[in-house]
């Protein structure tokens, strides 16, 4: 009997069709299911291309039939047989290969599989920690194969697009210098330089700027980035971003290129034509209308500022907030009058948890408005308030009276909560937007200093330069974020390309000249040697794919992700290392005093 293990695979399981009828084929793959129908054994054989039914009968080859009796789910097999049309009435319309089957003359067990902790087909209902512990089983699901095939295709489309636009793919170092801005760095101790450390890059920011100074003009990279920060559904400690930098451009050039690239990507991967140009909102507009710098534009529920109307109201809930420098802002909820008092109490509780003093509400009924605040307000004032909000019978009006930032941020969160309760979000829509004119700096109350909103290499807007030292909070950045369905997809800016301006900004954020020279001396020196005007953008590749595929978490598009506690369930990393390794690195392991105290 021939040893089919020495034969080459001729076809992939999911590629067979009626066109192959009568052909001898050699298939290899995993057994998804085994069925014994009294003298005939059926195997569903699976590889990445799909499934095909394999039929074994003692009439064809008794030894092969007996060998098939040993086979269980997830065994790896090689089989040789002939493709035939399935008998009438036995076709399976749910399988791409449902019109044919393979009558097997021989099989070889390439590898057995012991009892599995879960079947790949049932993985969706298995706890995520178990799935990540046995990630190789979880990844056997065809859904995951399709996801990573799409990820591959997306990277190819982007690479080809940027290459055709004259960009060069350039790798930047993974071992670099720790910088004081941004999230915590992952540090790598140096064996040959005791007491010194590399840092894994949070982004290639400084290197891509230096590439512009080097005259590359157009650079891109699928860059691996590392940030030691608290995790959530759309964040991982290591991730991939598409990094783009260009010389001799302004903001609109970069935004137009990004839109064209995303439109190409959606067309090639999903067959969707994106509407362009994407809407543009200033940071101030986004906060005023949506209470967020990454607004979800798939639904309305915009905020309205009614402070001018209620500044002198007899209702002190409103007037005291305005007189103390705050605002009164509201949201009209169409047909929200159906909300029960229980729901209104739940919303009020949430608003307080988010930092506001409370939530005022007006239910607009056919017979007139209803609210606990009516007795404190004049009828004409209530009438004007409803008109200003555009209220109609059946609507619900919700208001927060507080300091402007609190009111906007709280109503922004309330807006999302209302959309969820009213099922207003259309998950089939892709709503992109640009957010522009961010503040350049924000004041850190804890450290009593100004710090960069994006990073300290972002160029200020020219017309705001006179205020850089005298009123830093007034200065706007030449920065922009691209937002998709309420999630920040990426961000970029026009960079500072002048040493004097860079040193000026360092001084405003409290970085002493000697500290700036120590940490960024190589950049400052490079700026002295003919740096061109330049700018760029970086967007999260994993996050983009998560949103394109409408998945719940970024972990679904990363082959071997970390958990929310930044651990790898598959390898049990991070893990202790040998004392010798620490000695070689001149590192001493110091016990955690906090844990020691808790253990007493």
Model confidence over 375-426: pLDDT tens digits? 999 999 999 999 999 999 999 999 999 999 999 999 999 999 999 999 999 9
Single residue among 421, 448, 471 that ends a domain in this structure:
421
- Do residue 464 and residue 544 come from a single domain? no
List strand residue ranges (DSSP E) for 432-590, in order: 432-436, 441-444, 449-452, 479-484, 487-494, 534-540
Number of H helices, E strands in the chain: 17, 22
Q: Calculate the alpha carbon distances from 130 to 117, 120, 563 in Å.
A: 8, 12, 11
Residue 574, preceding peptide bond in cis (omega within 30° of 0)? yes
Instruction: Look at 90 and 38; give whichever has higher pLDDT.
Output: 90
CATH of the domain at 259: 3.30.930.10
**Per-residue pLDDT at 343:** 95
Asked if the structure places residue 584 within a domain, the reply is no
Cβ of 482: how many Cβ atoms within 10 Å?
22
Between strands 24-36 and 76-85, the pairing is: antiparallel
- Do residue 132 and residue 270 come from a single domain? yes
Mean pLDDT of 462-473: 96
Mean pLDDT of 324-351: 95
**Per-residue pLDDT at 382:** 94
- Terminal alpha carbon distance of the chain: 70
- Do residue 181 and residue 266 come from a single domain? yes
**Per-residue pLDDT at 60:** 80
- Do residue 488 and residue 555 come from a single domain? no
Report helix, strand or coil for 410.
helix
**Per-residue pLDDT at 123:** 78
Name the residue with tokens 């829509």.
429
pLDDT for 592 beyond 80? no
Residue 277, preceding peptide bond in cis (omega within 30° of 0)? yes
Confidence (pTM): 0.91
**Per-residue pLDDT at 5:** 53
Percent of the chain with pLDDT over 70: 97
> Which pair of structure tokens corresponds to residue 485?
């369905």
Among 44, 69, 72, 70, residue whose Cα is nearest residue 58: 69
- pLDDT grade, residue 37 (50/70/90)? confident
Q: Calculate the alpha carbon distances from 48 to 53, 101, 141 in Å.
A: 15, 18, 9
**Per-residue pLDDT at 497:** 97
Q: DSSP character for 30?
A: E
Burial readout 179-189 (b: 16 or more C-beta within 10 A, e: otherwise): beeeeebbeeb
> Which pair of structure tokens corresponds to residue 557?
């598009």
The radius of gyration of the chain's CA atoms, rounded to the nearest angstrom, is 31
Asked if the structure places residue 579 within a domain, the reply is no
Gap between the Cα atoms of 528 and 501, Å rounded: 12
> Do residues 336 and 393 make contact, with C-beta atoms less than 8 angstroms apart?
no
Among 262, 269, 162, residue whose Cα is nearest residue 221: 162
- Do residue 486 and residue 501 come from a single domain? yes
Angle between helices 142-164 and 541-548 (to 10 degrees): 120
pLDDT for 311 beyond 60? yes
> Do residues 395 and 408 make contact, with C-beta atoms less than 8 angstroms apart?
no
DSSP 266-325: HHHHH-----SSPPEEEHHHHHHHHSSSS--TTS---EEE-HHHHTT-S-HHHHHHHHTT
- Do residue 139 and residue 270 come from a single domain? yes
Cβ burial of 376 (10 Å; 0-12, 13-18, 19+) is: middle
Measured in degrees and rounded to the nearest 5, phi and psi for residue 507 equal -65, -40
- Do residue 132 and residue 101 come from a single domain? no
- pLDDT grade, residue 506 (50/70/90)? very high
SS in 3 state form for 354-387?
Answer: CCCCCCEEEEEECCEEECCCHHHCCHHHHHHHHH
Name the residue with tokens 């350049």.
440
**Per-residue pLDDT at 570:** 95
Residue 184: give the domain boundaries.
Answer: 128-276+537-571
Total of domains in the chain? 4
pLDDT for 597 beyond 70? no
pLDDT for 255 beyond 60? yes
Single residue among 386, 401, 421 that ends a domain in this structure:
421
**Average confidence score pLDDT of the chain:** 93
Among 102, 98, 97, 85, residue whose Cα is nearest residue 27: 102
Cβ of 530: how many Cβ atoms within 10 Å?
9
Percent of the chain with pLDDT over 90: 88
Asked if the structure places residue 511 within a domain, the reply is yes
Among 164, 148, 160, residue whose Cα is nearest residue 222: 160
Single residue among 47, 77, 111 that ends a domain in this structure:
111
- pLDDT grade, residue 122 (50/70/90)? confident
Which H helix or E strand runs over 584? helix 579-584
Name the residue with tokens 């230096």.
210
> Which pair of structure tokens corresponds to residue 6?
């020495």
pLDDT for 373 beyond 60? yes
Angle (nearest 5°) at CA 12 between 63 and 54: 35
Asked if the structure places residue 331 within a domain, the reply is yes
- Do residue 217 and residue 102 come from a single domain? no
> Do residues 161 and 581 make contact, with C-beta atoms less than 8 angstroms apart?
no
- Do residue 262 and residue 337 come from a single domain? no
Mean pLDDT of 498-514: 95
Asked if the structure places residue 119 within a domain, the reply is no
pLDDT for 114 beyond 60? yes
Asked if the structure places residue 576 within a domain, the reply is no
pLDDT for 593 beyond 70? no
pLDDT for 4 beyond 70? no
Gap between the Cα atoms of 568 and 565, Å rounded: 9
**Per-residue pLDDT at 43:** 95
CATH of the domain at 51: 2.40.50.140
- Do residue 447 and residue 417 come from a single domain? no
Can you list the alpha helix ranges (DSSP code H) found in 47-127? 62-68
Asked if the structure places residue 474 within a domain, the reply is yes
Mean pLDDT of 272-282: 96
Report helix, strand or coil for 491.
strand
> Which pair of structure tokens corresponds to residue 176?
């670099």
- Do residue 326 and residue 271 come from a single domain? no
**Per-residue pLDDT at 1:** 41
- Do residue 184 and residue 80 come from a single domain? no
Asked if the structure places residue 228 within a domain, the reply is yes
Gap between the Cα atoms of 525 and 512, Å rounded: 16
Of the given ranges (44-53, 54-63, 160-169, 548-557), which has the lowest mean pLDDT?
Answer: 54-63
């Amino acid at each position: 009997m021939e040893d089919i293990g020495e034969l080459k695979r001729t076809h992939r399981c999911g590629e067979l069709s009626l066109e192959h009828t009568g052909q001898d084929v050699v298939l290899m793959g995993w057994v998804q299911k085994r069925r014994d129908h009294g003298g005939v054994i059926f195997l569903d054989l699976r590889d990445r291309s799909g499934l095909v039914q394999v039929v074994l009968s003692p009439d064809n080859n008794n030894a092969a039939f007996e060998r098939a009796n040993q086979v269980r789910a997830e065994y790896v097999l090689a089989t040789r047989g002939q493709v035939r049309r399935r008998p009438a009435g036995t076709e399976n319309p749910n399988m791409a290969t449902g019109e044919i089957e393979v009558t097997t003359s021989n099989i070889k067990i390439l590898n057995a599989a012991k009892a599995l902790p879960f079947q790949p087909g049932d993985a969706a209902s298995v706890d995520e920690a178990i799935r990540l512990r046995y990630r190789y089983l979880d990844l056997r699901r065809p859904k995951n194969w399709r996801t990573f095939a799409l990820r591959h295709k997306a990277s190819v489309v982007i690479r080809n697009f940027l290459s055709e636009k004259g960009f060069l793919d350039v790798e930047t170092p993974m071992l670099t210098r720790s910088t004081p801005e941004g999230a915590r760095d992952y540090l790598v101790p140096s064996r040959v330089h005791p007491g010194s450390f590399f840092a894994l890059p949070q982004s290639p920011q400084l290197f891509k700027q230096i590439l512009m100074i080097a005259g590359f003009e157009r650079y891109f990279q699928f860059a691996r980035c590392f940030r030691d920060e608290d995790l959530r559904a759309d964040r991982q400690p290591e991730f991939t971003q598409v990094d783009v930098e260009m010389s001799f451009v302004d903001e609109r050039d970069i935004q137009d290129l990004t839109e064209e690239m995303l439109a190409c990507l959606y067309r090639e991967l999903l067959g969707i034509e994106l509407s362009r140009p994407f809407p543009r909102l200033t940071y101030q507009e986004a906060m005023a209308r949506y209470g967020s710098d990454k607004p979800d534009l798939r639904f309305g529920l915009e905020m309205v500022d009614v402070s001018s109307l209620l500044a002198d109201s007899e209702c002190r809930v409103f007037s005291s907030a305005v007189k103390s420098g705050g605002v009164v802002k509201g949201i009209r909820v169409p047909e929200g009058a159906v909300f029960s008092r229980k729901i209104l109490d739940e919303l009020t509780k949430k608003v307080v948890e988010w930092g506001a003093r409370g939530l005022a509400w007006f239910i607009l009924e056919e017979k007139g408005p209803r609210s606990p605040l009516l007795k404190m307000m004049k009828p004409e004032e209530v009438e004007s308030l409803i008109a200003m909000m555009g209220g109609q019978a059946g609507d619900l009006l919700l208001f927060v009276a507080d300091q402007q930032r609190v009111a906007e941020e709280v109503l922004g969160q309330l807006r999302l909560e209302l959309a969820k309760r009213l099922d207003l979000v259309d998950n089939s829509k892709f709503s992109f937007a640009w957010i522009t004119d961010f503040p350049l700096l924000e004041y850190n109350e804890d450290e009593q200093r100004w710090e960069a909103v994006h990073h300290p290499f972002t160029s200020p807007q020219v017309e705001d330069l006179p205020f850089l030292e005298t009123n830093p909070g007034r200065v706007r950045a030449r920065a922009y974020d691209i937002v998709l369905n309420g999630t920040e997809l990426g961000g970029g800016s026009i960079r500072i390309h002048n040493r004097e301006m860079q040193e000026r900004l360092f001084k405003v954020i409290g970085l002493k000249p000697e500290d700036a020279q120590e940490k960024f001396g190589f950049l400052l020196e490079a700026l002295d040697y003919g740096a061109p005007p330049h700018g760029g953008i970086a967007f999260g590749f994993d996050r983009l794919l998560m949103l394109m595929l409408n998945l719940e978490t970024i972990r679904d598009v990363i082959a071997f992700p970390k958990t929310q506690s930044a651990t790898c369930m598959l390898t049990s990393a991070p893990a202790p290392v040998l004392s010798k390794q620490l000695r070689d690195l001149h590192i001493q392991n110091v016990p955690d005093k906090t844990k020691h105290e808790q253990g007493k």
